[in-house]
Chains A and B, each alone.
Chain A
Amino acid sequence: MAFKYRSNFLYAAFGLVTILLAIFLSGCWDRREINELAFLSSMAVDLEGEQRLLTYEFVRPVATGGGEKGGGTLNHRQATLRSGRGETLIDAGQQITTGLSRLVYLAHTNAVLVGEEMARRGLGEILDFVDRNPELRRTTLIMVTRGAAREVLTKVQGDIETTLGKEIMGLHKWVQSSGYGFIPTVNDVYFDLSSETATTVLPVVELSPQPFPPVIGAGTPSSGGGSGSTEGRVEEPETVRTVRLNGAGLFYHDKLVAWLDADQTRGWAWVRNKVRRAVLALPCQENNTKVAVDINEAHAEVSLDRQGEQLQGKIKLKVEGILLEQQCKLDFTREEAVKSLENRMAAQITVEISSALNQAKMAGTDVFGFGGALHRRYPEVWRQLEGRWNEEFKKLPVTVSVEAKLRRTGMTGRPWQPGAR
């Protein structure tokens, strides 16, 4: 009996301790309430003299459900901007917190925009800022702007996503379907910059004004006249500033040294296997008409050969496409027409690649990975050239060979003929 009593007491004591532990060990120190956090979506980093100018874009919290209907406001950017200045990035970030009613929460940061001046000074501190902070992740996307990054971040309006960070996430996912670029993560940039050639390519993001349908009942003052009835008011389409990718910046070590235009960017992307789809508009040999080929397979190999002392770079690219648009009347069910089109496909891609290659050579940035190919193939040669590879690369002869295939002609074969019956 006494034993039983003792065991009950033990149970009670155990239960009490458990409850107390549950109360005291629930992690009070690291408790975070969602409604007390300011979620960072993207940020822009600029250099102003010796000061770092940091602009944060936060997700502006909206009351979901039962919002105003037809107001169009929900399609607009739901972002709050704050900026701060400081000697270092985190210092500038601290300045932002002095004017914020919530705790800055960095773990959902999608993108970092780097201003041109900052990029010329060096990405190092930005990469380090992202890498060292346990809240920021290496999946953060990074790109450059021409001029100040702040301009893009503050001026963009956007009409599909609610923040620029989200827009860029979407761009990152789909841009490779055009072939005109690639948005790398911080990890990609670290990988590139710590590889043999220590170069990388960051896409340029810029503002792009697009028409926006006028909102019913909210006409612009110039077109509307007096308030009151919406009838009879003429509303002009408005302009909304969105972002788009246009070209890229070439980086040697962590510094911006040159630009690539959009076509050159695609030339680079072909070689680095960053093109998932691309459209080529090619002449059709018939009074200025064109055909469009949709490339949906592309695979490139970069290699290096050595004959005696002479190094020879080689880019081999295999692409496959499908005929998607035809202005002329050429019959692409005929073998010869296909062959000649394939030659023109290869020629145009070669032009894009050569143009990118020349630009990279001029800047002395081996963004195609010849250095790595050399290191893997001839480690002893690489060790001799390692220190001056960017100079060697400028002199490196490179042959570009493109093998293009037109596999299919879409849903139809021969072109349409009027009155063919």
Chain B
Amino acid sequence: MGEKGRISLWQFFLLVTGFLIGTSTLIIPVGPAKQDAWISFLLAGTLGLGAAYCYTALGRRFPRESPLQYASRVLGRWPGTCFNIIFLWYALHLAALVLRNVVDLYKLIVLPQTPVEVVAGVFAGLAAYAVRLGIEAPARLGELLTPFIIVAILVLTALAVSVPGLVHWEALFPVMERGPLPVLRGVYPTFVYPFGETVFFLVLLPFLTEPRKSFAPFARAVIIVTLLTTLVLVRNLIVLGASETARMNYPSLIAIQMINIGVFLQRLEPVIIFVWSFTILLKLIVVYYTFTLGTAQLLGLRDYRPLVLPAGVLLTFLSLSLYDNFSQMLTFAGRVYPFYFLPAYLIYPVTLLLVAKIRKIKG
């Protein structure tokens, strides 16, 4: 479908890593688990491995096809098309949400006077350019920058922990004072976001050089991001305290603002703004790409590129009209989203996998 590029397993690993870091170090829900939120996240990461296994199992079954292509064969023409349309809607919606995340960040902290349309337009334009170039361009971008991102997050965390008098390890205790229930309640939302969102890599799996070996890099990315985000979460908890971490809109940013070593190593937040700008862009590119390529496959077009620009305009305006204010965003992200997203990350792939197994359909 106009995509002749191939990405290596290493590039795929870094792409998934960048995607997962994406917004998750920006906004990490603390939820009911309070100071045990990091345990919730570790458990969610374990579930994320399960999701990765499920998605790559589909990929192994249909190594050179995207779900948009085999869904009709597996489920029948009309049910398959319905499933595909729903799946694409979620891709469009997630792309708009991701774009909105970065726009909100820029509007509040980096460019308060600049119109949001300009910020959104610049990010969407960059993403559109990358999507138009095909999957190899974002893969190389991920290869180039994701290692730096990981190092930057580790260094910033190490610096925050080494500021004298800043960290309070006691903020992590008592562990599970109200039993395991609050921790378990925190697992589900942190699983859907960000791990459930990796479902869109289903569309990318056929472009791997060795699609049958996709599980190992996928799982490695999930493990690394789980550990990295848990580390970031623990850092935020010991620097800010559980209730403050939960109350703040960008706890990581504030925790990094607190870095002050010998009065010269301070004001490091541009580093983390860069990290987020890049990882969110990468995530946007992946989901945007999924949406355009998927639409082209659904409609049976020979080339997806004519769809890039219209899709970009669509998602830009959708992102700006997603919600009116921050409280709507909080309600949506906290209460609605984990269940709203269910069809995309669970029903779609699991139905496809089960029906394909029962009907013994292979790619």
Q: Does A30 contact B (CB under 8 A)?
A: yes
Report the minimum CB–CB distance from B327 to chain A (whole Å): 15
Please pick, from A185, A191, A375, A377, the residue contacting B241 in the complex, using a CB distance under 8 A: A191
CB-CB under 8 A from B165, the residues of chain A are 188, 274
**Stretch of A76-84, A132-140, A334-342, A398-406 at the chain-chain interface:** A132-140
Q: Are A372 and B111 in contact (CB under 8 A)?
A: no
Q: Are B258 and A139 in contact (CB under 8 A)?
A: yes
Q: Does B326 contact A (CB under 8 A)?
A: no
Q: Does B112 contact A (CB under 8 A)?
A: yes
Report the minimum CB–CB distance from B178 to chain A (whole Å): 8
Q: Are A30 and B244 in contact (CB under 8 A)?
A: no
Report the minimum CB–CB distance from B339 to chain A (whole Å): 30
A377 vs B171: C-alpha distance in the bound complex, in angstroms?
13
Q: Are A187 and B174 in contact (CB under 8 A)?
A: no
Please pick, from B108, B122, B171, B173, the residue contacting A134 in the complex, using a CB distance under 8 A: B108
Please pick, from B170, B243, B263, the residue contacting A376 in the complex, using a CB distance under 8 A: B170
A379-B174 in contact given A30-B111, A134-B112 (Cβ < 8 Å): yes
Q: Are B113 and A195 in contact (CB under 8 A)?
A: no
Q: Are A190 and B241 in contact (CB under 8 A)?
A: yes
B110's nearest neighbour on chain A, judged by CB, is A30
A272's nearest neighbour on chain B, judged by CB, is B165
Q: Does A221 contact B (CB under 8 A)?
A: no
A187-B254 in contact given A29-B115, A379-B177 (Cβ < 8 Å): yes
Q: Are A29 and B114 in contact (CB under 8 A)?
A: yes
CB-CB under 8 A from A25, the residues of chain B are 118, 122
A185 vs B239: C-alpha distance in the bound complex, in angstroms?
12
Q: Are B109 and A29 in contact (CB under 8 A)?
A: no
A191's nearest neighbour on chain B, judged by CB, is B241
Report the minimum CB–CB distance from A307 to chain B (whole Å): 20
B200-230 interface bits toward A, Cβ cutoff 8 Å, 1 = contact, 0 = none: 0000000000000000000000000000000
CB-CB under 8 A from B118, the residues of chain A are 25, 29
A27 vs B118: C-alpha distance in the bound complex, in angstroms?
10
A190 vs B171: C-alpha distance in the bound complex, in angstroms?
13
Report the minimum CB–CB distance from B232 to chain A (whole Å): 17
Count the B residues whose beta carbon is within 8 Å of the partner chain — how many? 28
Q: Does B240 contact A (CB under 8 A)?
A: yes
Q: Does B351 contact A (CB under 8 A)?
A: no
Q: Does A18 contact B (CB under 8 A)?
A: no
Q: Are A30 and B241 in contact (CB under 8 A)?
A: no
Q: Are B112 and A138 in contact (CB under 8 A)?
A: no
Q: Are A376 and B174 in contact (CB under 8 A)?
A: yes
Q: Does A358 contact B (CB under 8 A)?
A: no
A187-202 interface bits toward B, Cβ cutoff 8 Å, 1 = contact, 0 = none: 1101100110000000
Q: Are A187 and B239 in contact (CB under 8 A)?
A: yes
CB-CB under 8 A from A155, the residues of chain B are none
A376 vs B172: C-alpha distance in the bound complex, in angstroms?
9
CB-CB under 8 A from B177, the residues of chain A are 375, 379
Please pick, from B113, B168, B254, B266, the residue contacting A30 in the complex, using a CB distance under 8 A: B113
CB-CB under 8 A from A137, the residues of chain B are 257
Q: Which 7 A-B pairs have the closest CB atoms?
A: A29-B113, A379-B177, A29-B114, A376-B173, A30-B111, A194-B243, A30-B113
User: Besides A138-B257, A191-B240, 20 other CB < 8 A contacts?
Assistant: A25-B118, A29-B113, A29-B115, A30-B110, A30-B113, A134-B109, A134-B112, A138-B258, A187-B254, A187-B258, A188-B165, A190-B241, A191-B168, A191-B244, A194-B241, A194-B243, A195-B241, A376-B173, A376-B174, A379-B174
Q: List 12 A-B contacts (CB under 8 A).
A: A25-B118, A30-B113, A134-B108, A185-B258, A190-B240, A190-B241, A191-B241, A372-B170, A375-B174, A375-B177, A376-B170, A379-B174
